[in-house]
Amino acid sequence: MRKDYYDNKNIYYYLESEYKKIKTWSDTGYENVKRSLKSSFSYYDLKIIHRKLNIYYQNRFSFSDLSILNTILSIGLSGLITSIIAFLTIRYGYFYNTANPEDANYITNSLTDIISSVMANIIIATVIGIGISAFILYKLHRKKNRINFYKMILDDCL
């Protein structure tokens, strides 16, 4: 019986280093890990490992992690809508407040390029933010699935 898992702060990384990364879709990997866990640890040790894994899971993953994507999307959309409203306000404000419509047209055409580049920058920043947060969520989801797989194995062992 090994007691070296007591020294580890993170039981998930201990299980990953002991049993490597398991292919969660194969039954043979599941049975092999289950067999080796039963032979390596006593019932009491398995209960401790299971409890530590549950605590790690509850502390590590919360629903606030999943709201990153919604936050970035809402910030990008609000920036885009704000820039559209600013564009329309400036365009019609200059058009109606100047005595000469040709001057207003010239001013609004010069502002159109500036505001369209601002809108493009907002769209690009939003897409980059969504891409990065989607990658982070993908990694979190994979890790969460592996932890659930270990929890399922430990439930079967107990």
For the chain, count helices (H), then strands (E): 5, 0
2 has a pLDDT exceeding 60? no
At residue 55, the pLDDT reads 77
Q: Give the Cα separation of 84 and 44 in Å (integer).
A: 63
Listed as own residue / partner, the contacts of 66-71 with beta carbons closer than 8 Å and 24 or more positions apart are 66/137, 68/133, 68/136, 68/137, 69/130, 69/133, 69/134, 69/137
**Where residue 1 falls among pLDDT bands split at 50, 70, 90?**
very low
**Where residue 7 falls among pLDDT bands split at 50, 70, 90?**
low
Across the range 10-34, mean pLDDT stands at: 71
Looking at 27-36, 63-72, 144-153, which range is the least confident one? 63-72
Express as a percent the part of the chain with pLDDT over 90. Answer: 0
Express as a percent the part of the chain with pLDDT over 70. Answer: 75
**Where residue 23 falls among pLDDT bands split at 50, 70, 90?**
low
For residue range 69-127, list pLDDT tens digits in order.
777 777 878 877 887 787 777 777 766 666 676 776 777 777 777 777 777 888 888 78
Residues with Cβ within 8 Å of 41's Cβ and at least 6 positions away in sequence, in order, are 1, 2, 49
Tell me the whole-structure pTM to 2 decimals.
Answer: 0.57
At residue 154, the pLDDT reads 81
113: Cα within 13 Å, side-chain hemisphere: 5
Q: In which element (H, E) is residue 41 found?
A: none
